Amino acid sequence: MSDIGDICEPSRAKRSGGRGARVALRSAPLSDAMRPIRPGMPGGQYRPLTEAGMARIHQAALQALEEIGLSQAPPSGVEIMTAAGAIQGSDGRLRFPRALVEDMLAVAARDITLYARDPRHDMHLTGSNVHYGTAGAAVHIVDPFTLEYRDSTAQDLYDAARLVDNLDNIHFYQRTMVCRDVVDNRDMDLNTLYGCLAGTVKHVGTSFSDPSHVADCFDMLYMVAGGEEKWLERPFVSNSNCFVVPPMKFAEESCITMEDCIRRGMPMLLLSAGQAGATAPAPIALTIVQAVAECLAGVVYANSIKKGAPCIFGTWPFVSDLRTGAMSGGSAEQALLTAGCAQMHRFYDLPGGAASGISDSKLPDMQAGWEQGITNTLAGLAGLNLCYEAVGMHASLLGFCLESLVLGDDLLGQAMRCVRGIDVTEDSTSIEAMKEVCLGGPGHYLGSDQTLRLMQTEYTYPVVGNRMSPKEWTEAGKPQLLEKALERKNAILAKAGCRVAPEVDAAIRAKYRIHFQ
């Protein structure tokens, strides 16, 4: 019996005659509407929660808000929310009547757009439209060749932004790491914001370490936008705001920042990030209950400041390895948790975001591949509008790897192809192509008009991922995946310049201490 390799190799040889034509066809540019994958494709095919399960989670969240409430709101927040109908008890906790929550859900913003400086990258958060992007606050950069972890810098953050700007399947850039070479916290917030803006024209997410830093950061935003009015027309930065400290406590300084940013027209990610078994309950369903309750409190808070303020329902609960208490962001339980949160966003018909793609592995290896692949694919299939931390994150958010970011672009392309699903139409189920091949035809579909027509519009192809046969791989010098990722990373960074106009960049650098080149 012939070895399977002997069968496969000749079949490749027979195909080689038309390879040039196929490659040329595949290289021809496509309009955005014709691409096999694109930002904002609808998901929602995967539903780990039943309708009854979602209703039960909703009722439990309302009960928690009425009976437990949240503590430690700042005085301004107490004034804002009690004026809207929240009740402060003798224990200082704010409790939220069901009617108040339902009223605020009724006026909450839906179908919002997160703008980018380049309108081609605007993200329309409606229904189950899916977008993948970055986030996190890694304190280390991972070198997958030396296997070393070092402190992350402002230059690293800027380089990551430049890579995202040139990677099609990463749709937005939220800060990925801490600029540990910037000692002053105000300078760090300014460098974090400007590193993102200088690197990409896609939508940017940032955060502020202190409410007093907001004004200077908005001054910088107005300089980039061309004035306050231009900013208000298209606010291209959102605030990632941890307004709660689970379980069920407000974070005073973050709340003050949130109030200021909402009044200045900045979209808000209302972020609850409990850890199951530690700062959130161990049952996955009850973890979702707590996250939903905390984010519903955020909906009340934000809409008490400004009705219809653009907000993202940011249920971001994480999973613990209950043997040690350590975070386990790449686990199957994390994938289920994120998918369940996506369903609750849809239950309320609110724009939603959660974490997916975190790896517990220290390096971009096989473990990272399965962890990122499973969590990102399930998040997309569940219809999560914004999949944060989707690529580049290692060591349970402690490390970030630029080469992994590049590899992740391929991974997200495959995940988004799963989100798109199978197109069942009259044309795609017609047996005419089968007749042509089987009844007097060549006996295969390799050169058929239908195959050539669908090469680009039905199929997606990895840029770095290797699909060579063993023979081709050997003849090519046995290229390694990480080497190809490094090569692509260096090629992008060699060409990618600052995405802020030179005169504005010079003015910002003259006014503020910018720590990257």
Q: Please give the angle made by the CA atoms of 305, 309 and 314, to the nearest 5 degrees.
A: 105
In 3D, which of 235, 225, 252 has the Cα closest to residue 72? 252
Q: Which residues contact 196 (CB under 8 A, 6 or more apart)?
A: 157, 161, 173, 174, 175, 204, 205, 206, 237
Tens digit of pLDDT for each residue in 326-348?
Answer: 889 999 999 999 999 999 999 99
Q: Give the pLDDT confidence score for residue 484 in this predicted structure.
A: 97
SS3 161: helix
Phi and psi dihedrals of 124, rounded to 5?
-95, 110
Specify the DSSP element, H or E, that contains 423.
Answer: none
Please say if the pLDDT value at position 3 is more than 70.
no
> Crossing angle, helix 185-199 and helix 154-165, to 10 degrees?
20
Q: Give the pLDDT confidence score for residue 22 in this predicted structure.
A: 57
Which residue type does 97 have? P
Q: Give the pLDDT confidence score for residue 12 in this predicted structure.
A: 41
Q: Which residues contact 381 (CB under 8 A, 6 or more apart)?
A: 43, 44, 45, 46, 339, 418, 419
Q: Counting every residue, how long is the chain?
A: 517
What pTM does this model have? 0.93
Indicate the pLDDT class of residue 451, thresholds 50, 70 and 90: confident
Residue 40 contacts residue 124 (beta carbons within 8 Å): yes
Instruction: Show the domains of the chain with their CATH numbers.
Output: 106-421+497-511 (3.20.20.480)
Q: Give the pLDDT confidence score for residue 443 in this predicted structure.
A: 92
Query: Residues 145-152: what's their mean pLDDT?
Result: 98
Residue 308 contacts residue 268 (beta carbons within 8 Å): no
Q: Give the pLDDT confidence score for residue 32 in this predicted structure.
A: 76
Please say if the pLDDT value at position 15 is more than 70.
no
Please say if the pLDDT value at position 470 is more than 60.
yes
Please say if the pLDDT value at position 291 is more than 90.
yes
Residue 382 contacts residue 339 (beta carbons within 8 Å): yes
Which residue type does 372 have? Q
Kindly tell me the sign of the dihedral angle through the C-alpha atoms of 494, 500, 504, 509: negative
SS3 1: coil
Q: Give the pLDDT confidence score for residue 511 in this predicted structure.
A: 98
Kindly tell me the sign of the dihedral angle through the C-alpha atoms of 300, 305, 310, 311: negative
